[in-house]
Amino acid sequence: MAWFFGVVLVLLIGGVVVVAAGRGEGLAPAQSDDPRPALPDHTLGAADLRAVRFSTALRGYRVEEVDALLRRLAAEMEQRETR
Protein backbone atom coordinates (compact mmCIF):
# COMPACT_ATOMS: atom_id res chain seq x y z
CA MET A 1 0.00 0.00 0.00
CA ALA A 2 2.88 2.35 0.73
CA TRP A 3 4.23 1.85 -2.80
CA PHE A 4 0.85 2.99 -4.21
CA PHE A 5 1.02 6.31 -2.33
CA GLY A 6 4.65 6.66 -3.43
CA VAL A 7 3.66 6.27 -7.09
CA VAL A 8 0.78 8.75 -6.69
CA LEU A 9 3.14 11.24 -5.05
CA VAL A 10 5.70 10.89 -7.86
CA LEU A 11 2.97 11.36 -10.51
CA LEU A 12 1.63 14.40 -8.68
CA ILE A 13 5.08 15.99 -8.47
CA GLY A 14 5.67 15.17 -12.14
CA GLY A 15 2.39 16.86 -13.08
CA VAL A 16 3.35 19.99 -11.17
CA VAL A 17 6.74 20.04 -12.90
CA VAL A 18 5.12 19.68 -16.34
CA VAL A 19 2.73 22.57 -15.70
CA ALA A 20 5.49 24.72 -14.22
CA ALA A 21 7.71 24.04 -17.24
CA GLY A 22 5.09 25.57 -19.55
CA ARG A 23 3.45 22.45 -20.90
CA GLY A 24 -0.23 22.00 -20.44
CA GLU A 25 -2.52 24.97 -19.90
CA GLY A 26 -0.29 26.76 -17.42
CA LEU A 27 -1.29 29.76 -15.40
CA ALA A 28 -3.57 32.58 -16.46
CA PRO A 29 -1.85 35.83 -17.45
CA ALA A 30 -1.03 38.06 -14.51
CA GLN A 31 -3.38 40.95 -13.88
CA SER A 32 -1.88 44.31 -13.15
CA ASP A 33 -2.52 45.73 -9.70
CA ASP A 34 -1.14 49.10 -10.78
CA PRO A 35 -3.31 51.77 -9.15
CA ARG A 36 -2.59 54.43 -11.77
CA PRO A 37 -5.77 56.14 -12.96
CA ALA A 38 -6.80 55.77 -16.57
CA LEU A 39 -5.90 58.94 -18.45
CA PRO A 40 -7.21 59.94 -21.88
CA ASP A 41 -5.00 59.65 -24.96
CA HIS A 42 -5.45 63.30 -25.93
CA THR A 43 -3.72 66.32 -24.38
CA LEU A 44 -4.91 66.76 -20.81
CA GLY A 45 -7.19 69.65 -20.07
CA ALA A 46 -8.74 71.19 -16.98
CA ALA A 47 -11.78 68.90 -17.19
CA ASP A 48 -9.52 65.84 -17.25
CA LEU A 49 -7.80 67.00 -14.05
CA ARG A 50 -11.15 67.57 -12.38
CA ALA A 51 -12.35 64.08 -13.34
CA VAL A 52 -9.31 62.05 -12.25
CA ARG A 53 -9.60 60.06 -9.00
CA PHE A 54 -6.86 58.12 -7.25
CA SER A 55 -7.31 54.97 -5.22
CA THR A 56 -6.44 55.13 -1.55
CA ALA A 57 -3.76 53.03 0.08
CA LEU A 58 -2.55 52.42 3.58
CA ARG A 59 0.68 54.35 3.02
CA GLY A 60 -0.43 56.75 0.32
CA TYR A 61 -0.89 60.48 -0.01
CA ARG A 62 -3.44 62.59 1.79
CA VAL A 63 -6.52 62.80 -0.36
CA GLU A 64 -7.19 66.42 0.56
CA GLU A 65 -3.72 67.52 -0.56
CA VAL A 66 -3.98 65.72 -3.90
CA ASP A 67 -7.46 67.12 -4.52
CA ALA A 68 -6.27 70.66 -3.68
CA LEU A 69 -3.36 70.35 -6.13
CA LEU A 70 -5.62 69.01 -8.87
CA ARG A 71 -8.09 71.87 -8.33
CA ARG A 72 -5.28 74.43 -8.56
CA LEU A 73 -3.80 72.87 -11.68
CA ALA A 74 -7.24 72.69 -13.32
CA ALA A 75 -7.88 76.37 -12.54
CA GLU A 76 -4.49 77.36 -14.00
CA MET A 77 -5.13 75.28 -17.11
CA GLU A 78 -8.56 76.90 -17.58
CA GLN A 79 -6.93 80.34 -17.40
CA ARG A 80 -4.40 79.33 -20.06
CA GLU A 81 -7.10 77.80 -22.26
CA THR A 82 -9.20 80.98 -22.19
CA ARG A 83 -6.25 83.21 -23.21
Q: Tens of pLDDT along 51-81?
A: 877 777 777 778 888 888 888 888 888 888 8
- Cα 15 to Cα 10: distance, rounded to the nearest angstrom: 9
Mean pLDDT to the nearest integer, 34-55:
75
Query: Is 34 within the bounds of a domain?
Result: no
pTM, full prediction: 0.45
pLDDT at 33 over 70: no
13 falls within a domain = no
The residue range of the domain holding 50 is 41-83
Q: Is the pLDDT of residue 18 over 90?
A: no
* Poorest-pLDDT segment among 4-8, 25-29, 46-50, 57-61: 25-29
| Number of domain units in the chain | 1
- 37: confidence class by pLDDT, cuts 50, 70, 90: low
* Residue at 82 is within a domain: yes
The CB density around residue 46, as the number of other CB atoms within 10 Å, is: 19
Q: How far apart are CA 62 and CA 76, in angstroms?
A: 22
Is the residue at 77 inside a domain?
yes
Query: What single letter denotes the amino acid at residue 18?
Result: V
